Chains A and B, each alone.
Chain A
Amino acid sequence: MNWNRHIARLGAPLLAALVAAPGWAQQPATAAPAQAAVNPVAPEAIQALKTMGAYLQTLQRFSVTTQVTGERVLADGQKLQHSAKATMDVARPNRLRARITTARAERELTYNGKVATLYTPAQKYYSSVELDDTVTGLVRRLHQRYGIEVPLADLFQWGTADAPLEGFESAMNAGQDFVGDDLCDHYAFRQGSLDWQVWIKAGSQPLPRRLVITSRADDARPQSVSVIEWNLKPAFKDAIFTLVPSPGAQRVELVPLKTR
């Protein structure tokens, strides 16, 4: 907690007020709540992210299933909704398998701590790249270098330096709500051109259960909604993190992200 800094910042105007105002006894009482109401970044909302992130980092083996609903904005601003599904098996620090199903295609991403492989079973094509990192590093590198987005990338970033807790224009507690049968605390944030909300399971397992992201970069404000189901006692074996391409599968070179 940085109460000291907080008090130091309050101190100067408070002192001025104390000196100037004859009715000094009432000043502190009115000044403090006013200050709290003005702060758009509620510390408890940031703390909730911190707690969730720390908890996520303690999970060594888990499986998640997510269903996302996203939006495309057409030329005239009309929106089309689409959905996709992913299941992910994770073993920290450095193993991951993601199976991604969209209307277009099925894809599979596997990472065993040494090699990351992207596979399209229907076409029997795969791409591999050697990579020595944690799952968080994998998510970062695939995104930055190859433009590959791992489903629910945030899950691997919360609780690390890749999800800084500064830079919020707004953060608030939005009360409680249910996601499935889980009672959740609902928080809302504003950062840059994104508004986002997260529902975190209340109690001793602060897991994110729903994530809603609204883009303010387009006036149609396209939004995605991800619902996350957790299995903290998964039965998978470590062999699943190494892809064995089916016979006749063809390897394709992975092209790094191009900038124009």
Chain B
Amino acid sequence: MTTLIRLLAVALTGVFLATLVPPAAEAAGDRRGGGGGGGAARAGGGGGAKAKPQANNTNRDARSNNVRSTSVSNVNNNVNVNKNVNVNVDADRRGCCGWDNDYHPVATAAAVTATVAVTSAVIGSIVNAPPPGCVPVSYGGIIYQQCGATWYAPQGPQFIIVTPPY
């Protein structure tokens, strides 16, 4: 029984990943049509001064979010971590992966499955704004929006759904 549910969940994930048009991303897709997708809604506060183009990741293939490891960009922190037996290696990997890297590796397919099953939120989806009632959380150098089990990281003026950092 449980196995069946898990299988179903996995299959669903597959469908979601394959279609690459998660529901939440559609709103962002509209804006994409404008080309360049300058940050109207949220960044509007700054307005007009210098229109710096924002990276648009709405066409990103879901597979590109399934990261098993990343490079590191400093020596001593990592060497010292390795030497210190008491430091939780897992925490280090999940906590942060270097200043340049605001992606959190997706530990296993199960993690993706769980997130999808619980919230229907697909890792990598872009939204213009998180749903109401989210709470900002500053963790590992990123200020997220946490909405229950779903975590949003800033993506220019928009937000991207990411693997929960903890």
Chain A positions within 8 Å of B73 at CB level: 68, 70, 149, 151-152, 213, 224, 226
* Inter-subunit contact A72/B103 (CB<8 Å): yes
Please tell me which stretch of B3-11, B29-37, B134-142 contacts chain A, meaning at least 4 of its Cβ atoms lie within 8 angstroms of it: B134-142
Asked whether B66 is an interface residue with its Cβ less than 8 Å from the other chain, the reply is: yes
Task: Assess the B75–A213 pair: CB atoms within 8 A.
Answer: yes
Interface string of A102-124 (1 = CB under 8 A from B): 11110100000000001011111
- Residues 233-260 of A, flagged 1 when their CB comes within 8 A of B and 0 if not, give 0000000000000101010111101111
Distance (whole angstroms) from the CB of B109 to the closest CB of chain A: 8
Determine if A213 and B68 form an interchain contact, defined as CB atoms under 8 angstroms apart: no
Closest to A80 in B: B64
Contacts known (A103-B55, A127-B138, A147-B141); A73 close to B99, Cβ less than 8 A:
no
- B residues in contact with A84, CB < 8 Å: 99-101
Tell me if A175 is interfacial: C-beta within 8 Å of chain B: no
B70: chain A residues at CB < 8 Å are 70-73, 222
Give A191 to B82 CA distance when docked, in angstroms: 9
Quick one: which of B67, B72, B106 has the most chain A CB within 10 A?
B72
Q: Which of A82, A223, A250 contacts B100 (CB 8 A)?
A: A82
A149 touches B156 (CB 8 A): no
Over the window 91-132 of chain B, the binary record of Cβ atoms lying under 8 Å from chain A Cβ atoms (1 yes, 0 no) is: 110111011111101100100000000000000000000000
List chain B residues, Cβ under 8 A from A250: 136
Residue interface mask A14-34, B partner, CB < 8 A = 1 = 000000000000000000000
Q: Are A103 and B83 in contact (CB under 8 A)?
A: no
B62 CB to closest chain A CB, in angstroms? 11
- Residue pair A118, B68 in contact (C-beta under 8 Å): no
CA distance A107 to B66 in the complex (A): 24
Q: A70 and B100: CB pair below 8 A?
A: yes
Partner of A149, one of B45, B68, B77, B136: B77
How close is B53's CB to chain A, nearest CB, in angstroms? 11
Q: Which bracket fits the contact residues of A?
A: 35 or more
Task: Confirm or deny: A203 has a beta carbon within 8 angstroms of a beta carbon on chain B.
Answer: no
Q: Given the interface contacts A70-B101, A74-B68, does A191 sit within 8 Å of B79 by beta carbon?
A: yes
A-B contact count (CB 8 A): 199
Q: How far is the CA of A74 from the CA of B106 in the complex (A)?
A: 9
- Interchain CB contact (< 8 A) of B141 among A146, A220, A259: A146
Inter-chain CA distance A41–B9, complex, in Å, is: 52
Q: Assess whether B91 is in contact with A258, with CB atoms less than 8 Å apart.
A: yes
Q: Are B39 and A122 in contact (CB under 8 A)?
A: yes
* Interface residue? A153 (CB, 8 A): yes
Judge whether B72 and A74 touch: CB under 8 Å: no
Select B75's contact among A75, A100, A149, A191, beta carbons within 8 Å: A191
Q: Which of A54-62, A177-185, A192-200 contacts B (4 or more CB under 8 A)?
A: A192-200
Interface residues of B (CB under 8 A from A): 39, 42-43, 45-46, 55, 57, 63-64, 66-80, 82-83, 88, 90-92, 94-96, 98-103, 105-106, 109, 136-143, 153-157, 160, 166
24 inter-chain pairs at a CB distance below 8 angstroms, sorted by A residue, are A70-B98, A70-B101, A72-B67, A72-B69, A75-B68, A82-B101, A84-B100, A105-B154, A122-B154, A124-B45, A125-B138, A146-B140, A147-B140, A149-B74, A149-B141, A154-B76, A193-B82, A218-B68, A246-B45, A252-B137, A255-B139, A257-B95, A257-B140, A260-B90
Given A196-B75, A211-B75, A252-B138, output 15 extra A-B contacts at Cβ < 8 Å.
A73-B69, A82-B101, A86-B99, A104-B153, A123-B136, A125-B143, A149-B74, A153-B99, A157-B76, A163-B75, A193-B82, A194-B79, A213-B78, A214-B71, A255-B139
